Amino acid sequence: MGRPWSSAFGLALFLLGSLIIHADGQSQSLETDLYALLKIREAFIDTQSILREWTFEKSAIICAWRGVICKDGRVSELSLPGARLQGHISAAVGNLGQLRKLNLHSNLLTGSIPASLGNCSILSDLQLFQNELSGIIPTDLAGLQALEILNLEQNKLTGPIPPDIGKLINLRFLDVADNTLSGAIPVDLANCQKLTVLSLQGNLLSGNLPVQLGTLPDLLSLNLRGNSLWGEIPWQLSNCTKLQVINLGRNRFSGVIPELFGNLFNLQELWLEENNLNGSIPEQLGNVTWLRELSLSANALSGPIPEILGNLVQLRTLNLSQNLLTGSIPLELGRLSNLRVLSLNDNRLTSSIPFSLGQLTELQSLSFNNNNLSGTLPPSLGQAFKLEYLSLDANNLSGSIPAELGFLHMLTHLSLSFNQLTGPIPSSLSLCFPLRILNLEENALSGNIPSSLGSLMHLQVLDVSGNNLSGLLPPKLGNCVDLVQLDVSGQNFWGRIPFAYVALSRLRIFSADNNSLTGPIPDGFPASSDLEVFSVSGNKLNGSIPPDLGAHPRLTILDLSNNNIYGNIPPALGRDPSLTVLALSNNQLTGSVPKELNELSNLQELYLGINQLSGGISSKLGKCKSLNVLDLQGNKLSGDIPPEIAQLQQLRILWLQNNSLQGPIPSSFGNLTVLRNLNLSKNNLSGNIPVSLGSLIDLVALDLSNNNLQGPVPQALLKFNSTSFSGNPSLCDETSCFNGSPASSPQQSAPLQSGPNKVRERTRWNRKEIVGLSVGAGVLTIILMSLICCLGIACFRLYNRKALSLAPPPADAQVVMFSEPLTFAHIQEATGQFDEDHVLSRTRHGIVFKAILKDGTVLSVRRLPDGQVEENLFKAEAEMLGRIRHQNLTVLRGYYVHGDVRLLIYDYMPNGNLASLLQEASQQDGHVLNWPMRHLIALGVARGLSFLHTQCEPPIIHGDVKPNNVQFDADFEAHLSDFGLERFATMPTDPSSSSTPVGSFGYVSPESTGVSRQLTRGADVYSFGIVLLELLTGRRPAMFTTEDEDIVKWVKRMLQTGQITELFDPSLLELDPESSEWEEFLLAVKVALLCTAPDPVDRPSMSEVIFMLEGCRVGPETITSSSGPTSHASPV
């Protein structure tokens, strides 16, 4: 009987022991979790005290701690998102053996990702995004075989993406976007066959996109935007038939868009903008009917816009801007009933705007800027009631502005500038109550400004400049209290500036130049403390200068020139610390020049000429170190010229003529090393001409006539015309004395003119200018007679020019050729009557045609804008350009002028330009351009540009150095083109005008984008440096679209962070880091950075650039240096 009892007792004892052992094990595991959590708590900085219960004293309720979730008595989840935690993640997290989810996103954690996380073998969800974690992604994470979600987005992680991530066979979501990861995309990621989301955007990844990613059957979203990936887009991605999002924008992909993408029937978003893609837009995309977002902008796509895109009825965004698309805008786009954004900017589209676009009732933004669209604005656009943004700038649109646009009650931005619109400004626009920007600049609009626009209470920008508007300025615009910019310049407005404008307290820019405004500037106007530009030149304003104009700390341009303003210059103007341009010339100002103006340290241009100012020139003027134009001509100034003016090292123009100055010319003027124009004529100067003036190598205009100078003319100055020294009886050269005063001298006979417009050397006088200048110059009989003669000649020339322009040029008219003869008829025939099919390019200097003569000779013919240049000036400039010969410059073979027709005949360059060659190189893995070829191209361009700067007389500033202007002959020799054409450009009349083009976007030097916009050698050097960087890196300046980043800053950043290989054009990556070519490349990059120094003073000359580039080739040079430059005179 005891035996059964003994067995039962033993079994019970065994079970009790097992329970005790199990409980003890569980207790020990939970204790391990407790200590791990306390260690994690130690590593955190809890600024919000959300972990106050995480203490040993409360360990009994560990599973109730905030952010902690337990399962089966163990910690299975730690979730503390958005808790503003600082500190780092403790390695103790690896001791949470049963952890399934770790969520610490949206905190401020720093340090690295603990490698010990690899111990959490059953972890399936790891979310650490939006922190400040650094270091590499630990390869230990590859041990997390249960991991499904890995989100490390928006941190500061570096290094490559570990290939071992491909071992996570259960991974469904991988997001490491917006870090600084580098290297290639691992092919091993294709092993993650369950992957649905792959987001790698915003890193520094490079190399090709692995074709193996096309084997991911469940992939829904692929986001690789904003890296440096290159090569072709793999067509194999079309095998991922579940794809809904493809974002490959802002990379360096080349080749064509795969047609097979048309088979991705589930695709909803396709982003391919800002790459180097070419070819046409595949029509097959019209089959992807679920597509909602399609962005292909900033590529090199060509051909027409496929009509079949009208089938994409779900489309909300269509962005095809910044390509080379041609043809018309398809009517079928009017079927896109869900479209919200339509952008076709910067293409070559022609024809008219389809009326069908008015059917797009969901449309919010419509932008067709910079095309060749013609015809009228369709009134149907007024039916797109949700339109907020409408911009059609820089086309050839004509007709009137439809009143129906007033129906767009949600419109905030309307810009129709640079077209050919006529008729009045519709008063119905006042119904667009949210309107903030109204830009109608440079059209042919007439009538007045509707007073009803004063009801637009949110209006910030109103620009109607460059039209034919007239009447009074509407006082009701003073109700638009949010106005920041008001530009009414270049019109026929008359009457006073309304006193109501005093209420415009936020005004930054007010421009009313070249009207017929009268009366004084209203008291208290402008009242804005944010004022930056106040320009009212070329009116009939009178009264005195309001002292309040000296109370604007941000004022940079003050232009009151060419009016009837009288009185003293207020000393308060010296309190405008930001002033860069002060133009008060051609008025009736009296008194002395206030000494307070000497304190304007940022002043660059000072125009006080043709007034009645008296007294001496202050020696303190030398404190204005930034001054590059000083115009004091035509006043009553007396005393000596202060030698301290020589401290103005940036001075380019010095006009002191027509005063009563005496004493010697300061010998210190020889220190003005960048001086280009010096006029001291018609004073009482005495003594010898300083020999030091001969050292001014940039000096191109000199007038010392009509003084009391004596002695010999320095040998270096004898290159100037004798009229520069006439009227000085005691002044002699080697053979004669300058005691005459020839009437033929243009500097003697021309009427006085002063101010910013004179700096830009306008080539004609119109009636209004002559009458205005006669008042400023006085009523002396001889000057009046001179003005009458000039007016008569100008009128005769104008009449004769108009008569010539009415009749077509005779066919047998001779083209002036510097070698073989040619007629205008030959040119017409060779260009197919200047047919569109012969057009090679269009620039602001006209249209370039390919001309094929009967004997097979091919020429390039540039037709300048009709009537742009006066005939004699054109002939003189063309003759000068025809004498220029250099191996690396395009050769002008002849010219033609008759009536309004101006032609320049050049050699034809059969191998295109550098811009096209670089694009071709990027699409063919660079085998078109190796490093030696790129070096020779750079050297050739440098030699050509240096010749223009140093060997031409006068020196020629190119003004628009860019890849499009580097052309290649049959032997692929580089030739710099389009030089000297700035001389043919119509000069601006407003120094502050933003419409005056200087250079091309991305290649313009910092100092050329400001007010002066002067052409200088330093600006050319800067542009060459940008071209050199583009040649070396394959990166176009246009690829950098933010204010904080440009190609120069990007190159410097890559060098500073040691990412040297990122600088290389992909085609040059084969360079061996140990080879001489690698060293040569880096030397060339440094040359480019010297050329693009922010301060022009720090930039080398082009001769120095040649020396440095020649020194870059430490290896053998494949082609010898070009022969020395030559210059041959053309036959007359």
CATH of the domain at 830: 3.30.200.20
**DSSP per residue over 931-952, as a string?**
HHHHHHHHHHHHHHHHHHHHTS
Exposed, middle or buried by CB within 10 Å (0-12, 13-18, 19+), for 689?
Answer: buried
What pLDDT does 735 receive? 52
**Integer Cα distance of 1011 and 1007 in angstroms:** 9
Q: Is residue 149 part of a domain?
A: yes
C-alpha dihedral sign at 567, 570, 576, 580: positive
User: Are residues 779 and 865 part of one domain?
Assistant: no
Does the structure show a pLDDT above 70 at 741? Answer: no
Residue 732 lies in a domain: no
Same domain, 946 and 973: yes
User: What is the distance between the alpha carbons of residues 694 and 925, in angstroms, rounded to a whole number?
Assistant: 53
Q: Closest by alpha carbon to 1012, among 514, 650, 610?
A: 650
Closest CA to 74 of 30, 126, 138: 30
Given a cut of 50, whether residue 769 has pLDDT beyond it is no
Q: Residue 801: in which H helix or E strand, if any?
A: helix 781-806
- Choose among 692, 687, 681: nearest CA to 717: 692
Query: 960 an active-site residue?
Result: yes
What lies within 8 Å, CB to CB, of 236 at 6+ separation is: 211, 212, 213, 214, 215
**CA pseudo-torsion sign 490, 493, 495, 498:** negative
Band the pLDDT of 1067: cuts 50, 70, 90.
Answer: low
pLDDT in tens, 216-266: 999 999 999 999 999 999 999 999 999 999 999 999 999 999 999 999 999
Q: Is the pLDDT reported for residue 756 higher than 60? A: no
Q: Are residues 948 and 1096 in the same domain?
A: yes
What is residue 429's three-state secondary structure? helix
Domain end, chosen from 908, 938, 957, is at 908
Residue 725 covered by a domain: no
- Find out whether 299 and 919 touch, Cβ atoms under 8 Å: no
CB 507 within 8 Å of CB 487? no
Q: How many CA atoms lie within 13 A of 880 on its CB side?
A: 18
DSSP state, residue 750: S
Kind of pairing, strands 204-207 and 228-232? Answer: parallel
127-154 tens-digit pLDDT = 999 999 999 999 999 999 999 999 999 9
Query: Who has greater pLDDT, 1004 or 95?
Result: 95
Residue 1120, SS3 per DSSP:
coil
pLDDT at 4 over 50: no
The C-alpha atoms of residue 260 and residue 238 are separated, in whole angstroms, by 6
Q: What single string gives the DSSP state of each residue in 120-141?
A: -TT--EEE--SS--EEPPPGGG
Tokens at 277, concatenated: 């893609």
Quick check: is 701 in a domain?
no
- Please choose, from the candidates 1108, 1066, 1111, 1114, the residue with its C-alpha nearest in 3D space to the C-alpha of residue 1090: 1108
User: Domain holding 974: CATH number?
Assistant: 1.10.510.10
Counted residue by residue, the chain has a size of 1132
Final residue of a structural domain among 908, 926, 949: 908
What is the structure's pLDDT at 924? Answer: 61
For residues 791 and 807, give the distance between their C-alpha atoms in angstroms, rounded to a whole number.
25
Query: Rounded to an integer, what distance in angstroms lies between the CA atom of residue 981 and that of residue 678?
Result: 25
pLDDT category at 923 given cuts 50, 70, 90 is low
For 813, counting Cβ atoms within 10 Å of its Cβ (0-12 exposed, 13-18 middle, 19+ buried), the class is middle
Q: Is residue 568 part of a domain?
A: no
The one-letter code for the residue type at 605 is E
837 & 926 share domain? no
Distance CA 396, CA 418 (A): 8
- Active-site entry in 346, 960, 978, 1020: 960
User: CA 237, 241, 242, 245 torsion: positive or negative?
Assistant: positive
User: 3-class SS at 707?
Assistant: coil
Highest mean pLDDT among 557-566, 745-754, 879-888: 557-566
Nearest to 920 by CA among 932, 912, 910, 931: 912
Distance CA 803, CA 433 (A): 49
At 13 the pLDDT is: 38
Torsions phi, psi for 511 (to 5 deg): -130, 120
Q: Which helix (H) or strand (E) holds 354?
A: none
Q: Pairing mode, if any, of strands 101-103 and 74-79?
A: parallel
Q: Residue 73's domain is classified under what CATH number?
A: 3.80.10.10
Indicate if 961 and 814 belong to the same structural domain: no
- Per the CB < 8 A criterion, the answer to whether 308 and 331 are in contact is no
818 domain-assigned: yes
Are 1029 and 1096 in a shared domain? yes
Looking at the structure, do residues 959 and 886 belong to the same domain, yes or no?
no
CA 691/CA 678 separation, integer angstroms = 15
Q: Is residue 1003 within 8 Å of 1037, Cβ to Cβ?
A: yes
358-415 pLDDT, tens digit each: 999 999 999 999 999 999 999 999 999 999 999 999 999 999 999 999 989 999 999 9
pLDDT of amino acid 738:
54
What pLDDT does residue 771 have?
30
CA dist 449 and 487 (Å) reads 12
Q: Which two tokens stand for residue 252?
A: 């360096």
pLDDT digits 0-9 by tens, 311-346: 999 999 999 999 999 999 999 999 999 999 999 999
Same-domain check for residues 814 and 929: no
| Residue 1031, helix vs strand vs coil | helix
Q: What's the rounded Cα separation, in Å, for the pair 33 and 31?
A: 5
Is residue 293 predicted with pLDDT exceeding 80? yes
DSSP conformational letter for 946: H
The pLDDT, as a whole number, for residue 561 is: 96
* Residue 12, both tokens: 């019970």
C-beta separation of 131 from 153 below 8 A: no
Tell whether 965 and 1109 lie within a shared domain.
yes
CB 251 within 8 A of CB 229: yes
Average pLDDT of the residues in 591-598:
92
Place of tokens 């958005």: 82
Under 8 Å between Cβ of 281 and 320? yes
Choosing from 298, 333, 364, the residue where a domain stops is: 298
Neighbours of 496 (CB within 10 A): 15
Give the C-alpha distances (Å, rounded to integers) separating 308 from 299, 848, 1014: 21, 34, 49
Q: 1066 pLDDT exceeds 70? A: no
Residues 208 and 95 in one domain: yes
Query: Which position has the token pair 């002028």?
Result: 897
The answer to whether position 469 is within a domain reads no
pLDDT score of 783: 31
Question: 684: which 2 tokens?
Answer: 């009482």
pLDDT at 175 over 50: yes
pLDDT value of residue 466: 93
Helix (H, G, I), strand (E, B) or coil at 478: helix
More confident residue, 843 or 446: 446
924 plus 980 within the same structural domain: yes
* Position 435 in a domain: no
Cα-based distances in Å from 47 to 44, 188, 223, 509: 9, 41, 35, 47
What is the value of pTM for the model shown? 0.67
Whether residues 838 and 924 share a domain: the answer is no
pLDDT digits (tens, 9 = 90+) for 664-691: 999 999 999 999 999 999 999 999 999 9
Task: Give the whole-angstrom CA distance, residue 1081 versus residue 1068.
Answer: 10
Q: What is the DSSP track for 1090-1108?
A: HHT-SSGGGSPPHHHHHHH
- Counting Cα atoms < 13 Å in the Cβ hemisphere of 923 gives 17
The better pLDDT of the pair 405, 733 is held by: 405
pLDDT-derived band at 570 (thresholds 50, 70, 90) equals very high
**Bigger pLDDT: 773 vs 344:** 344
Across all residues in the chain, what is the average pLDDT? 84
Distance in angstroms (rounded) separating the CA atoms of residues 418 and 371: 11
Helix, strand and coil content of the chain, in percent to the nearest 5, comes to 30, 20, 50
Omega before 526 cis (within 30°)? yes
User: What HEC string does 1026-1057 produce?
Assistant: HHHHHHHHCCCHHHCCCCCCCHHHHHHHHHHC
In the chain, the amino acid numbered 959 is G
Distance between CA 299 and CA 296 in Å, rounded? 7
Q: Domain of residue 61: give its range.
A: 21-298
pLDDT at 770 over 90: no
Number of domains composing the chain: 4
16: pLDDT confidence band, cut at 50, 70 and 90? very low
